[in-house]
Homo-oligomer: A and B are copies of this chain.
Amino acid sequence: MVNPQVSMSDERRERVLDAAQRLFLKYGYDKTTVSDIAHEAGISKGAVYLAFDSKEAVMDALLMREGERVQEDMLARMRADPNGGALFALYRYGLEALSDNALMRAFYGRRREVFGDTLRRLEPRIADAESRSMSVEFVRHYQQAGLIRPELDPHAVAFLLMFMRYGLLTIDEVVPRDQSPPLAVIGALIAEVLQLGLAPLGGGDAEAGKRLFEALSRAALDRLKRQPAPPNTPSEEGGTS
């Protein structure tokens, strides 16, 4: 069904996604119409439908693109740091990359103002992404690589990493972002605390961590890409009659 041929409309798609991102973040998914997106992108409404099957497909493609960007960003930060493979650095860079991307921050924060009614549809994917990035399996791998102390309960550690990220990404509903300490300071502290609290004495082999993380995250992304399309959930509802 999907045309394997990549036409020159790729740039068109990007512009639509750019426009959609701006408008979704500013007005929310529900209050943004397809005409608005077309106008913002400087094309006609029909052209949007040449590039995407539906409004939801625009959202999906946008999330995919931004998710990849976050991942690239995180990997770049990691590679730039000679000690970037240590758990503390990984987590820090992941958080920083996420926090720097407004759309993904809203995604993980499940902001209803931004995603509106499609949030329900996206929910499983958020949960999936969340568990993928800091799952129990992840923690086990790190324990085997000697980057997390082996005696710690991997479930508890995964949960800790999860709710810490959740808290950091969602607390700006309560404390405005500009009243919090700068992200770099927070990131550094989180990194330090996790390093001291979870890593073995000496911090483990940072290079091994770097390789491990790169492999794991690539594999996860590929798996995601291979998944063809998000299952349609036509808000099934009804009695038992």
Which residues on B sit within 8 Å (CB–CB) of A43? none
Distance in angstroms between the alpha carbons of A181 and B164 in the assembled complex: 15
A102 sits at the interface (CB 8 A)? no
Bound complex: CA A160 to CA B163 (Å):
12
| Complex interface: chain B residues within 8 A of A159 (CB) | 175, 180-181, 186
A residues lining the B interface (CB < 8 Å) = 110, 126-127, 130, 152-153, 155-157, 159-160, 162-168, 170-171, 174-175, 180-181, 185-186, 188-190, 192-198
| Residue from B153, B175, B180, B196 in contact with A189 in the complex, judged by beta carbons closer than 8 Å | B153
Q: What residues on B are CB-neighbors of A188 within 8 Å?
A: 156
Q: Quick check: A153 and B196 within 8 Å, CB to CB? A: no
Bound Cα distance A152, B156 (Å): 26
A168–B162 alpha-carbon span in the complex (Å): 9
The answer to whether B171 and A166 touch across the interface, beta carbons within 8 angstroms, is yes
CB within 8 A of A197: which of B156, B180, B196? B196
Min Cβ gap A199→B in Å is 9
Is B197's CB under 8 angstroms from A192's CB?
yes
The closest CB in chain B to the CB of A110 belongs to B174
On chain B, the residues within 8 Å of A153 by CB distance are 181, 185, 189
- Chain B nearest CB from A70 CB (Å) reads 19
A131 to B86 alpha-carbon distance, docked (Å): 32
A133 to chain B, nearest CB (A): 14
Q: Which residues of chain B are within 8 angstroms of A175 by Cβ–Cβ distance?
A: 159, 162
Query: Nearest Cβ distance between residue A217 and chain B, in whole angstroms?
Result: 22
Question: Smallest distance from the beta carbon of A121 to chain B beta carbons, Å?
Answer: 16
Residue contact B181 to A156, C-beta cutoff 8 Å: yes
Q: A186 near B160 (CB under 8 angstroms)? A: yes
Q: Are A156 and B185 in contact (CB under 8 A)?
A: yes
Tell me, rounded to whole Å, the shortest Cβ–Cβ distance linking A173 to chain B: 8
Q: Which chain B residues lie closer than 8 Å to A198 at the CB level?
A: 193
27 pairs, A vs B, C-beta closer than 8 Å: A126-B174, A130-B174, A152-B189, A153-B181, A155-B181, A156-B181, A156-B186, A156-B188, A157-B189, A159-B175, A160-B186, A160-B193, A162-B171, A163-B164, A163-B167, A163-B171, A165-B167, A166-B167, A166-B171, A167-B170, A170-B170, A192-B197, A193-B193, A193-B194, A193-B196, A196-B197, A197-B197
